[in-house]
Structure 1
Amino acid sequence: MKILVLSWEFPPRIVGGISRHVAELYPELVKLGHEVHLMTVVFGNAPLSEVVEGIHVHRVLVPPSRNFFEWVALMNQSMGDRGGKLMLEAGPFDLIHAHDWLVADAAIALKHHFKVPLISTIHATEYGRYNGIYNEDSRYINHKENNLAFHAWRIIVCSEYMRGEVQRALATPGHKIDVIYNGIRAEKKPRRHDFDAWNFRRWYAADEEKIVYYVGRISYEKGVDVFLSAAPKVIWELGGKVKFAIVGGGNTDRLKRLAWDIGIWDKCYFTGFLSDEYLHKFQAVADCAVFPSLYEPFGIVALESFAARVPVVVSDTGGFPEVVKHGITGVVTRVGDYNSLAAGILEVLKNSDYREFLVENAYADLECRFRWPDLAKQTEAVYHRVVQERATVVW
């Protein structure tokens, strides 16, 4: 099959989880014998065209814009123009695969112009992020999501939780939705013996201090304020021998003020954005990963920590309880409850045998449920279904 993929982010442009998802899924589909062309956005010094692990990557220029929504509209215009030329020059294509609402307009236009079926992966919804639609911006995004869901031949989501959310938020019948988990390349993570771990660790904490970290976007839905609010109890119980690291780019001013106001400033380390090289090493020397999200469609960050052999503590929201098996591969706590979160962190840090038990089970679970080669075959099955159904339809 020949597949055209539209994604607004792809390495080196990394905004959220979509970038890693598309960068790790499609090489496996190439290995299965499919030709994949991926349309994305120009970023930094990345070339306009290149082949990355078998994927034919095409980057489009987006003209200057006055705001985010205008930028999205211009991006879709560029993707539509370039995508149309590509489908004429390199076609025919069997499928178009769009990732989230930001590329919806281009994907829908190409679908109708070339009469090629559209598959959409919906990674999150606006309704889910805010537990409702409350302003004009959200209404606009929700409209685009609804439009993409309506025009998609089939929809792929990353968890059973998201199947239900797409049914409710986007008025989509359940039989149109396929659940395929996210995956991870566990082999890319270094171990402590692969580098000078102790000296690296001393950049962030004293030798006697445990390192507890959050990594991800700095946004309300990620619950970082709950993480900081749980810290005083953990600090007290461990006699101050702990450091809390907040890893991620974005505006952290509000969180820094919170850390100061509750008296834990000297126990916090706001690292800012870390490159993959440094992040992988950081995870290798850490003692506990914490993800207290208020909304989380899947939780690929938990898989990252599984692969790094770091015990995880998560909230019981969204897809997390599907990814993390409580008491077996991690600890699941009550969403938005900093006392529950603190208890979960302490349970991990105070019991080395339990910590090792969780780590070993979590790493083994990656092989069972989250291998990209297996997930690519599940995606391929959806592709084959759509192509077969398309062959029976007069468009």
Structure 2
Amino acid sequence: MRVGLMTREYPPNVYGGAGVHVEYLSRELAKKIDVEVHCWGKQLSDEGNLHVRGAEPWSLLTEGKQEKFQAALEALSLNLAQMKPLAGIDIVHTHTWYVSMAGFLAKKLFGVPFVLTTHSLEPLRAWKAEQLGSGYAMSLWMERTAVLDADAIIAVSKGTKEDILLAYPEVKAERIHVIYNGIDLKEYQKTAETTALTQYGVDPNVPYVLFVGRITRQKGVTHLVEAIRYLPKNTQVVLCAGAPDTPEIAAEMREKVEEAKAFNPKVVWIEKMVTKPEVIQLYSNAAVFCCPSVYEPFGIINLEAMACRAPVVASATGGILEVVVDGVTGHLVPFDQDPVTKFPSKPEKFARDLAAKVSDLLENPEKAKRFGEAGRKRVEETFSWSAIADQTIELYRQLMKASNK
């Protein structure tokens, strides 16, 4: 069996949870079957059963100016260009809307089964119009076309399965298979190393609250920044936040951080996506990890933090509800959502509630330690990549068997 994994992100070009998922899934699958990873970028490598093939989209600059819709057009162009190297695969498996049409076209052209993993859903991310402009209509169309045609849809959580049925009521529930994200338990382990902390200006002797993620509406980082004013005075807060979706949200983030620093000078903003060893150090030494996402189909960063024994305070939404156990591995913070944007309808209350739960763990280090140990145990028992790869291969086999009837 030879599977074609389609993805925008692949190491070293990983900036989000979907890229992390494909990185580890491909590695684990390659222990048992042949895997071709088709990604964006100039990549070409062969290591055992794992074959990586990168490609570049068409250059679509308009009179020297980059339009917001360019990302959507580039995605479609690359999906078309990837058809030729897919001729030798037995099954195609796509990750995110950026490559969804590659799966749709491969099924039509080569007659192979098509699996689609949803890491998020475009209809539930109305703020993407800010990032993609008029290209948002194209991303909606590409995802919808692929979702309705896929032979099987993998949801990364039970909550995501419910979201799929809500966004695409035409999809039959039996076509949706829940297979969680995973974590490399050997790689993500608590460490006492603090060189990365001092390198980025974090005081390892002062407890700190940590955020890790992209600067995007979805991740809710600005709500955590707003919460800083409600935390105990001079709480050290580390914002490991880079890769802003748009110049507008980058400017908004900068303004809010400067406001927070005016009354709390112990805010450290690491304005880039750090390396894996560095982020493991940040997780390992954090007093509290905070995930304030307003939309999160799974939330792999919570797994990473839990694996490093960090207690978690996270918004009570989406797949987070299936990862973080309230009162056991951390605190969940519910909030009222706007039905269209998914943003908190009462943002100040959400910020205050986040601060209250974070403050509880800062003021109760024994509870925080207990939550951290329970988080590691939960990750070990439920989220290993080997089990996830086995479930995925079994789904491939079922689809190939059905297609050969």
Question: What is the CA deviation profile of residues 155-213 of structure 1, one whole-angstrom value per residue up to 9, with x for unaligned ones?
Answer: 001011110111111232211100111001122135434x3x27844853445532111
Corresponding residue SS for 2:265? helix
Question: What is the CA deviation profile of residues 275-318 of structure 1, one whole-angstrom value per residue up to 9, with x for unaligned ones?
Answer: 22322222222211101111111110100101121111000111
**Contact kept? 1:231, 1:264, Cα under 8 Å:** no
Corresponding residue SS for 2:94? strand
Query: Could you list the runs of 5+ residues in structure 1 that have no partner in the other structure?
Result: none
> One-letter code of the match for 1:141?
S
Query: What is the TM-score with the length of structure 2 in the denominator?
Result: 0.86
Match of residue 228 from structure 2: 231
Q: Give the Cα–Cα distance (whole angstroms) in 1 for the partners of residues 388 and 115 of structure 2.
A: 16
Question: What is the CA deviation profile of residues 199-248 of structure 1, one whole-angstrom value per residue up to 9, with x for unaligned ones?
Answer: 84485344553211111010122111211122122133xxx2x2111112
Query: What is the TM-score with the length of structure 1 in the denominator?
Result: 0.88
Match of residue 109 from structure 1: 105
Q: Give the Cα–Cα distance (whole angstroms) in 2 for the partners of residues 71 and 333 of structure 1.
A: 34
Match of residue 279 from structure 2: 279
**Contact kept? 1:127, 1:133, Cα under 8 Å:** no
**Contact kept? 1:97, 1:121, Cα under 8 Å:** yes
Question: What is the CA deviation profile of residues 90-143 of structure 1, one whole-angstrom value per residue up to 9, with x for unaligned ones?
Answer: x3x321111121112222122111111111011101222238999854333222
Give the alignment of 1:162-311 within 5 angstroms: 162-171=160-169, 172-189=171-188, 191-193=190-192, 195=193, 197=194, 200-201=197-198, 203-206=200-203, 208-236=205-233, 240=234, 242-251=235-244, 252-261=250-259, 263-264=262-263, 266-273=265-272, 274-311=274-311
Match of residue 115 from structure 2: 119
Query: 1:53 and 1:215, CA in 2 relative to 1: closer, same or farther beyond 3 A?
Result: farther
**Contact kept? 1:190, 1:280, Cα under 8 Å:** yes
Match of residue 155 from structure 1: 153
Q: 1:358 aligns with which of 365, 371, 381?
A: 371
Q: Give the Cα–Cα distance (whole angstroms) in 1 for the partners of residues 242 and 128 of structure 2.
A: 26
Q: Give the Cα–Cα distance (whole angstroms) in 1 for the partners of residues 277 and 380 of structure 2.
A: 23
Q: Give the Cα–Cα distance (whole angstroms) in 2 for the partners of residues 74 and 387 of structure 1.
A: 31
Query: Could you list the runs of 5+ residues in structure 2 that have no partner in the other structure?
Result: 62-66, 245-249, 336-343, 345-349
Q: Give the Cα–Cα distance (whole angstroms) in 1 for the partners of residues 72 and 145 of structure 2.
A: 15
Query: 1:107 and 1:207, CA in 2 relative to 1: closer, same or farther beyond 3 A?
Result: closer
How many residues matched? 377
Taking only the aligned residue pairs, the percentage that are identical comes to: 25
Query: 1:216 and 1:208, CA in 2 relative to 1: closer, same or farther beyond 3 A?
Result: same
Match of residue 347 from structure 2: none
Corresponding residue SS for 2:119? coil
Residue 75 (structure 1) shift: 4.7
> One-letter code of the match for 2:230?
K
CA RMSD of superposed structures (Å):
2.3
Query: 1:284 and 1:78, CA in 2 relative to 1: closer, same or farther beyond 3 A?
Result: same
User: Does 2:385 match 1:367?
Assistant: no
**Contact kept? 1:28, 1:372, Cα under 8 Å:** yes
